[in-house]
Amino acid sequence: MPRVTVIGTGYLGLTHAVCLADLGHEVLAIDVDEEKIAKAASGEAPFFEPGLEPLLRKNIDAGRLRFSMSFPEVAGFGEVHFLCVGTPEGDAGRADLSFVEAAADALAPHLTSECLIVGKSTVPVGTARRVLSRVRAAAPAGRRVDVAWNPEFLREGFAVQDSLAPDRIVAGVTSPRAEALLREIYATPLAAGVPLLVMDLETAELVKVAANAFLATKISFINAMAEVCEAAGADVMPLAEALGYDARIGRRFLSPGLGFGGGCLPKDIRAFRATASELGVGSVASLLTTVDAINQGRRDRVIALARQVAGGTLAGRRVAVLGVAFKPNSDDVRDSPSLAVCDRLAAEGAIVSVHDPVAMANAARKRPDLTYARTVFQAAEGAELVLHLTEWSDYQAIDPAALAGVVARRVIIDARGTLDAGLWSDAGWSVRILGRP
């Protein structure tokens, strides 16, 4: 079996390294962040991801997974190097490829024998071929270094199961050898029936951004319908349900609410919009501009509703915010819709108290000025308005009658539409749900 390295141990890279080790591979993982490497090497996941930490420990203990900060060591160890570094939003919405380039540049001078670099990061079309030329020019092994692109579709919160049993594996390759190596690495999921789709580099890069563009469009579509429902006095919830029964449409990603956020969808659709513009495909650029605008508009809508139910102004109002992660089962607050709403509440003079089951430490690093409460009840103490912004299942278990005992006013905005509105109303709460009359 080929020995494997993973470059970049963030949400994607660490999960990938752990899962490859769990599939039986010998894995060496590297990052430039010393603290992350020290934590991971000691068996502690540097971020919250259900099921990851026990698997991390298991594979370290089994001797299949090690960590390093040395590129010469990594280059000497691996026959296949997975590139998992970040590709954040850069200037004018374009993807910032400086981490991909820096990782390739750090690795290349130490590549002295035949090997394959497999990109997993989400990148604009054309990046893989540029990485190939760049690495071949700098590597002593020259043309014996190959590049493939194997985009990742894992969802934070389900990252382990998505890595071990993905819906499909996409492999952009330029040689039969690259395909053979990827087949060997993914032998277990392939044997279990996971489809492998082999294609050219450019198409593989585009599959990932097209998938994210589609998902973002689906969310923004139902949120646009929520806007129509609000204007027409209709109810978006039964509308979404009725649409979802149509097998051509499907129920998933059709939940109206506060919209999408996180470290992927928002920056990926902006990067794709920039690429589409550069390629002269104005239709995709304008579609994604609209998708982004609808999504941002949901944040405005929550603020407008909050202002309205608070009596016209948020200044001096005590607001409890439930949920700050960009989605449940994650501690990720990158482009979190909830955190954006908190920013706006604070800017309008509200006194904001925030609760989240796991994401408060990350939120506090970005917004140290907000108040963070250890429990829902502490967050809601004296609140004149409660905002439900991230749909953790814990919040569905709140007893509204008990919570009523600590707030100043029983008013809640459910921006995710997942609370039992009847239960809350019965306990004397005034409940507003985005998209419902």
Ligand X SMILES: NC(=O)c1ccc[n+]([C@@H]2O[C@H](COP(=O)([O-])OP(=O)(O)OC[C@H]3O[C@@H](n4cnc5c(N)ncnc54)[C@H](O)[C@@H]3O)[C@@H](O)[C@H]2O)c1
Q: Which active-site residues does the annotation give?
A: 264
Q: Answer yes or no whether residue 11 interacts with ligand X by CB under 6 A.
A: yes
- Asked whether 388 and 322 are in contact (CB, 8 A), the reply is yes
Which among 100-108, 192-200, 231-239, 314-322 is the span making contact with ligand X, rule CB under 6 A?
100-108
Q: Answer yes or no whether residue 321 interacts with ligand X by CB under 6 A.
A: no
Q: Answer yes or no whether residue 7 interacts with ligand X by CB under 6 A.
A: yes
Q: Which is nearer to ligand X, 87 or 295 (CB)?
A: 87
Which among 18-26, 101-109, 314-322, 372-380 is the span making contact with ligand X, rule CB under 6 A?
101-109
The strand ranges marked E within 165-259 are 169-172, 196-199
Q: Under DSSP, is residue 242 helix (H, G, I), strand (E, B) or coil? A: helix
Question: Minimum Å distance from CB 326 to ligand X?
Answer: 10
Q: In what order do the strands lie in the sheet with 371-372?
A: 371-372, 351-355, 318-322, 385-388, 411-414, 430-433
Q: Answer yes or no whether residue 87 interacts with ligand X by CB under 6 A.
A: yes
Neighbours of 225 (CB within 10 A): 18
Q: Answer yes or no whether residue 9 interacts with ligand X by CB under 6 A.
A: yes
Among 216, 264, 305, 421, binds ligand X (CB under 6 A): 264
Q: Answer yes or no whether residue 32 interacts with ligand X by CB under 6 A.
A: yes
Q: Answer yes or no whether residue 85 interacts with ligand X by CB under 6 A.
A: yes
Q: Answer yes or no whether residue 164 interacts with ligand X by CB under 6 A.
A: no
Q: Answer yes or no whether residue 102 interacts with ligand X by CB under 6 A.
A: yes
Token pair for residue 28? 């060496």
Q: Which is nearer to ligand X, 263 or 417 (CB)?
A: 263
Residues of span 362-401 touching ligand X by CB under 6 A: none
Which among 78-86, 300-308, 319-327, 406-414 is the span making contact with ligand X, rule CB under 6 A?
78-86
Q: Under DSSP, is residue 267 helix (H, G, I), strand (E, B) or coil? A: helix
Residue nearest to ligand X (CB): 10
Can you tell me the distance from the alpha carbon of 252 to that of 270, in angstroms, rounded to the nearest whole number? 23
Question: Minimum Å distance from CB 170 to ligand X?
Answer: 12
The residues, any chain, with a CB within 8 Å of residue 28's CB and separated by 6 or more, are: 3, 4, 5, 6, 66, 67, 68, 73, 74, 77, 78
What x-and-dash track marks residues 272-301 binding ligand X by CB under 6 A?
------------------------------
Question: Minimum Å distance from CB 334 to ligand X?
Answer: 8
- Asked whether 149 and 100 are in contact (CB, 8 A), the reply is no
Question: Minimum Å distance from CB 103 to ligand X?
Answer: 4
51: β partners: none
Q: How many helices (H) and strands (E) does the chain have?
A: 19, 14
Can you tell me the distance from the alpha carbon of 72 to that of 107, in angstroms, rounded to the nearest whole number? 7
* Count of residues interacting with ligand X (CB under 6 A): 27
10 Å CB burial of residue 393 (0-12, 13-18, 19+) is exposed
Can you tell me the distance from the alpha carbon of 19 to that of 29, in angstroms, rounded to the nearest whole number? 12
Can you tell me the distance from the alpha carbon of 383 to that of 353, in angstroms, rounded to the nearest whole number? 9
Q: Answer yes or no whether residue 435 interacts with ligand X by CB under 6 A.
A: no
Q: Answer yes or no whether residue 172 interacts with ligand X by CB under 6 A.
A: no
Q: Answer yes or no whether residue 84 interacts with ligand X by CB under 6 A.
A: yes
Q: Which is nearer to ligand X, 203 or 425 (CB)?
A: 203
Q: Answer yes or no whether residue 10 interacts with ligand X by CB under 6 A.
A: yes
Q: Under DSSP, is residue 81 helix (H, G, I), strand (E, B) or coil? A: strand
Q: Answer yes or no whether residue 33 interacts with ligand X by CB under 6 A.
A: yes
Which residues contact ligand X (rule: CB under 6 A)? 7-13, 30-33, 36, 84-87, 99, 102-103, 106, 121-122, 152, 154, 156, 263-264
